[in-house]
Amino acid sequence: MATIMFVDDEAGIRNALKRLFADSPHNVLVAASAAEGLEHLRANTCAVIVSDNQMPGESGIEFLYKARQLAPDTLRVMMTAYADLGTALNAINHCEAYRFVVKPWDNQELVELVNNCVLRFELLNSLRLKDEAIYSSLARAIELKDHYTRGHSDRVVEFSMALGRRLGLPPDTMIHLQHGAMLHDCGKIGVPEAVLNFPGKLDSDQMDIIRKHPDWGGEVAQAAGMHQTTVNIILYHHEYYNGQGYPTGLAGDDIPLEARIVAVADVYDALLSDRPYRKALPPDVALREFLAMSGTVLDPLLVKNFIEIVNEKKLEDGVA
């Protein structure tokens, strides 16, 4: 159970926030001042702090600055009575506030923000353990959340490793490739399940939420000190070879090789799997669609190598 803390000098606000999170799975702490908040923070590991700015004694900015020294991983959210750009910038620069909320807050938005902070905090701490068994259980958790991709990360690992071996990647890189392939969708932990499993065409707002997962995951992996190759895979696995992908629009060889490898494996498996919006494609149709993406979505040289691996495997299995 994660611990979350709200700091506000007004009792009415503290009570409203306590009520709002009463049914949440989190342990909720409240504090009436910066001093009380710091006391809580010394005694508890908090995933997220939401603090008012204008309080008697130390301000919210001063409090969050001290909180950052004391518990650097705890996510800091600043809440003020009015949209004050100066305060917001100060909070972001001075105490690296993760978000800024204006009162009166929107209940649903605040709950979503706090839940998102908790997920980010938990993912960061898991990745930091640098333990393959934990990476693997994270991959399982993502598959459970994104119902239609059961076994997906194992297959993406298998396909990526086969391609990496064929290209003669050095052993170190193969390890980072394996971790990146396993965790490529770790940013989906931050995407609501209702959006991930939406049984139809997504609208542009839903698309925007889904499109955040590489950035969200890459940023957490970076903060957790994962190897740059692994971070690059998480961050760039949806870039297109022609530069039309996301999140950055990198093109061609500017996309790190390992991310291009995982993109090939990810797309190939997605075409052969059921998705929320369509059933799995028959193998010949999937193969045609896959080849049609060569040079646009996917690196053509990698597609060529991958098809050779698939054909060799068929020969081995006696299918062809």
> Which is nearer to Fe ion, 34 or 235 (by Cβ)?
235
> Which is nearer to Fe ion, 66 or 275 (by Cβ)?
275
Write the burial class of residue 198 (CB in 10 Å: 0-12 exposed, 13-18 middle, 19+ buried): middle
Nearest-approach distance from CB 237 to Fe ion, in angstroms? 6
Nearest-approach distance from CB 121 to Fe ion, in angstroms? 21
Measure the CA–CA gap between 145 and 221, rounded to whole angstroms: 19
Nearest-approach distance from CB 248 to Fe ion, in angstroms? 14
Kindly give the pairing relationship between strand 75-80 and strand 46-52.
parallel
> Which is nearer to Fe ion, 63 or 246 (by Cβ)?
246
Nearest-approach distance from CB 208 to Fe ion, in angstroms? 15
Q: What angle do CA 168, 186, 130 make, to 5 degrees?
A: 70
Helix (H) / strand (E) element for 79: namely strand 75-80
> Which is nearer to Fe ion, 185 or 258 (by Cβ)?
185
Position of minimal CB gap to Fe ion? 185
> Which is nearer to Fe ion, 8 or 185 (by Cβ)?
185
Structural contact between residues 174 and 165, judged by C-beta atoms closer than 8 angstroms: yes
What are all long-range contacts of 116-121, with beta carbons under 8 Å and residues at least 24 apart? 116/190, 117/4, 117/47, 117/48, 117/75, 117/77, 118/2, 118/4, 118/26, 118/47, 118/48, 119/189, 119/190, 120/75, 120/190, 120/216, 120/220, 121/2, 121/47, 121/48, 121/73, 121/74, 121/75
Nearest-approach distance from CB 318 to Fe ion, in angstroms? 34
Q: Is 239 in the site for Fe ion (CB under 5 A)?
A: no
How far is C-alpha 189 from the chain's CA centre? Answer: 6
Q: How many residues of this chain interact with Fe ion, rule: CB under 5 A?
A: 1
> Which is nearer to Fe ion, 185 or 239 (by Cβ)?
185
Of residues 174-233, which lie at the interface with Fe ion (CB under 5 A)?
Answer: 185
Nearest-approach distance from CB 234 to Fe ion, in angstroms? 9
The residue ranges that bind Fe ion (CB under 5 A) are 185
